[in-house]
Chain A
Amino acid sequence: MSLFNCITNQCPLGSNFGSSNKLGSCGAVPQLGGGAQRRDKSRNSRSITAYYGLKTPPYKLDALEPYMTQKTLEVHWGAHHRGYVEALNKHLAKNDLLYGYTMDELIKVTYNNGNPWPEFNSAAQVWNHDFFWESMQPGGGEMPTLGLLQQIEKDFGSFINFREKFVEAALTSFGSCWVWLVLKREKRCLAIVKTSNAINPLVWNDIPITGLDVWEHAYYLDFKNDRAKYINTFMDHLISWEAAAARMARAQSFVNLGEPKIPVA
Chain B
Amino acid sequence: MAFRTLITRNPAAPLASRGLHTFSLPDLPYDYGDLEPAISSEIMQLHHQKHHQTYITNYNKALEQLEAASAKGDASTTVKLQSAIKFNGGGHVNHSIFWKSLAPVRAGGGEPPRGPLRWAIDNNFGSFEALIKKMSAEGAAVQGSGWVWLGLDKEFKRLVVETTENQDPLVSKGARLVPLLGIDVWEHAYYLQYKNVRPDYLKNIWKVVNWKHASDVFEKENP
* A221 and B196 within 8 A (CB): no
Q: State the Cβ distance, B2 to closest chain A Cβ, in Å.
A: 24
B144 to A, closest residue via Cβ? A176
Q: What is the minimal beta-carbon distance from A8 to any residue of chain B, in angstroms?
A: 16
Asked if residues B165 and A80 are in contact (CB atoms below 8 Å), the reply is no
| Chain B neighbourhood of A215, CB < 8 A | 144, 187
Whether B166 and A175, one on each chain, are in contact in the complex, defined by CB atoms closer than 8 angstroms, is: yes
A28 CB–B CB distance under 8 Å: no
B46 within 8 A of A: yes
Pairwise interchain contact A224-B50, C-beta atoms closer than 8 A: yes
How far is the CB of B117 from the nearest CB of chain A, in Å? 31
Which of B54, B83, B186 is in CB contact (< 8 Å) with A216? B186
- Which residues on the A side are within 8 Å of B196 (C-beta)? 75, 79-80, 83, 217
CA distance A83 to B188 in the complex (A): 19
Partner of B167, one of A80, A174, A198: A174
27 example contacts (A-B, Cβ-Cβ < 8 A) are as follows: A75-B196, A79-B195, A80-B196, A174-B83, A174-B87, A174-B166, A174-B167, A175-B146, A175-B165, A176-B143, A176-B145, A196-B144, A197-B144, A198-B143, A215-B144, A216-B186, A216-B188, A216-B191, A217-B191, A220-B192, A221-B191, A221-B192, A224-B46, A224-B50, A224-B192, A225-B46, A225-B188
**CA gap between A221 and B191 in the complex, in Å:** 8
Among A204-261, those with CB < 8 Å from B are 215-217, 220-221, 224-225
A121 neighbours in B (Cβ, 8 Å): 143
CB-CB contacts below 8 Å: B126-143 with A: 143
B145-A216 in contact (CB<8A): yes
With the chains together, A174 CA to B87 CA distance in Å? 7
Known: A174-B166, A225-B54. Contact between A220 and B145, CB under 8 A? Answer: no
Cβ-based interface call for B51 (8 A): yes
User: What are the residues of chain A within 8 A of B165 when measuring CB–CB?
Assistant: 175
**Which A residue sits closest to B42, measured CB to CB?**
A224
Inter-subunit contact A175/B145 (CB<8 Å):
yes
Q: What is the minimal beta-carbon distance from A169 to any residue of chain B, in angstroms?
A: 14
In the assembled complex, which residues on chain A have CB atoms less than 8 Å from the CB atom of B144? 175-176, 196-198, 215
Give B166's nearest chain A residue, CB to CB. Answer: A175
In whole angstroms, how far apart are the Cα atoms of A83 and B46 in the complex?
A: 27
